[in-house]
Structure 1
Amino acid sequence: MSMPQSVRNWFSSKFACHIYSFLVILVIAIACYFYDKDLFGSLPKTVGSVSAFLTVYGVIFALIELVRTRTAAELAEQRVTEVVQVVEDLITAREITECQIAVESALDGISRNEDISARYVVKIIRLYSQVFPDAMLDEQSPHRSNRSILETYRYVKRVSDKSKGPVQTQKALMSISGHLAEMQGHTKRGKENAQ
């Protein structure tokens, strides 16, 4: 009569190392008995020898469990890292979407020759800076240039003529929209490649 496959898998995966180590210790104990019968000559010597072999087996058992625990901890850490990455991607996707909505609203206002609400300007600057933090550190990046144009929007609107400010702002907003779409594409492509 053979064991079912599920029982064999469970038995071999969980206890194989322990059984193999016990069998090795048992073989060593039997070999010691045949090699030096004095180890098992009297009751105190037999109890001492058996307890010594059991102690060695206990140490081996503990080492096996230590390795298993470490492996489980590493696997758990890997899964947590994957979950954190997914959450960060979701947050980035939300920020991109919110920023795109604000950019579209601002472009809509420019096309109707209306002022862009300060609330939208601030929201675009904040979200755009959060989505591209590294690019904002580079003084030569187009991301930083676009942010600078938006930061000076109210000032340019008051000082210069009406035609130059909106055109420059509109170009910056179109560029921002393109950057956001590109980032969203990279995020989506990264998820598809991971699957």
Structure 2
Amino acid sequence: MNLNSKWIHIITFLACFIGAGVLILLFPELKKDQPTTLGTAGVFLTLYGVTFAIIELVRLKSASFLANKEARRVFDIATNLVTAREIIECQTKIEIAVEAIDEKRLIPSASLCSIVKLYSQVFHHEVGDDNSEHRKHRSIVQAYYISGQLPPKSSGNTKKALLGIAGHLAQLQGSTNNFAEHIK
């Protein structure tokens, strides 16, 4: 029987009641006088109460497990939404930067700062690895920013780094856009 059934307590009560009746019929000394009968009834009511409590504890454990699972799912969805927002914002800043390079203009400092910040937030594990491609791309963008943004000479590497960053973000965006699949 399913412990979440609304009939479980009624069935448990009936089982205890029938069990008490059978034992009283088999052992007549359980009802020989009022104190003994009252004690026998108390034992079976206590047995039912303990069984009732155990069933409710199992139900509570099941409910808390389901609530925890649902909370984790909602948290993951919210995290994916924040990540998706950061990806879109960073991609917009990259488009501004690449356009500035193509037009042989200086990349706005605010765009470079946002790109480094957002890219570092989204790929925080990868940029921590000194040998990762993510770290190299971020370092090139940072070097362009720190160098006082001297255009054309270093802009080729900067553009490659920005396009590499855009590729990483697009790849991640492809996986986070599918978060709705994981809701089911």
Please, what TM-score do these two structures have when normalized by structure 2? 0.91
For residue 165 of structure 1, the aligned residue among 154, 161, 178 is 154
Q: What SS does the corresponding residue of 1:152 show, helix, strand or coil?
A: helix
Shift of 1:163: 3.4
Residue 40 of structure 1 corresponds to which residue in structure 2? 31
2:102 pairs with one of 108, 111, 114: 111
Q: Does 1:132 align with 2:114?
A: no
Q: 1:157·1:165 contact (CA, 8 Å) conserved in 2?
A: no
Report the CA distance between 1:169 and its aligned residue.
0.6
Is 1:123 matched with 2:88?
A: no
CA deviation map 1:97-125 (0-9, x unaligned): 00001000111111111111111111000
Equivalent pairs, count = 182
Q: CA deviation at 1:31?
A: 1.9
Is this contact kept in 1: 2:98–2:159, CA < 8 A? yes
**1: CA distance between counterparts of 2:74 and 2:81?**
11
Question: Any residues of structure 2 matched to 1:164-183 within 5 Å, and which?
Answer: 164-183=153-172
Q: Which residue of 2 aligns with 1:25?
A: 16
Deviations 1:148-184 (A, max 9, x none): 001111344567xx53311111111111111111110
Moved more, 21-30 or 185-194: 185-194
Match of 1:56 among 41, 44, 47: 47
- Taking only the aligned residue pairs, the percentage that are identical comes to 37
Higher percent of residues as helix: 1
Where structure 1 has 5 or more consecutive residues not aligned to the other structure, the ranges are 1-11
TM-score where L is the length of structure 1: 0.86
Partner of 1:82: 73
**Alignment match of 2:143 (pick from 152, 160, 165):** 152
Contact 2:4 2:59 in 1 (8 A): no
Q: Which protein has greater RCO, CA pairs closer than 8 Å, 6+ apart?
A: 2
**d(CA) in 2 for partners of 1:154, 1:105:** 15
Deviation, 1:81, is 0.5
Measure how far apart 1:193 and its partner are: 5.5
Are the counterparts in 1 of residues 90 and 115 from structure 2 also a CA contact under 8 Å?
A: yes
2:134 and 2:21 map into 1 onto residues whose CA distance is 76
CA distance in 1, matches of 2:171, 2:27: 77
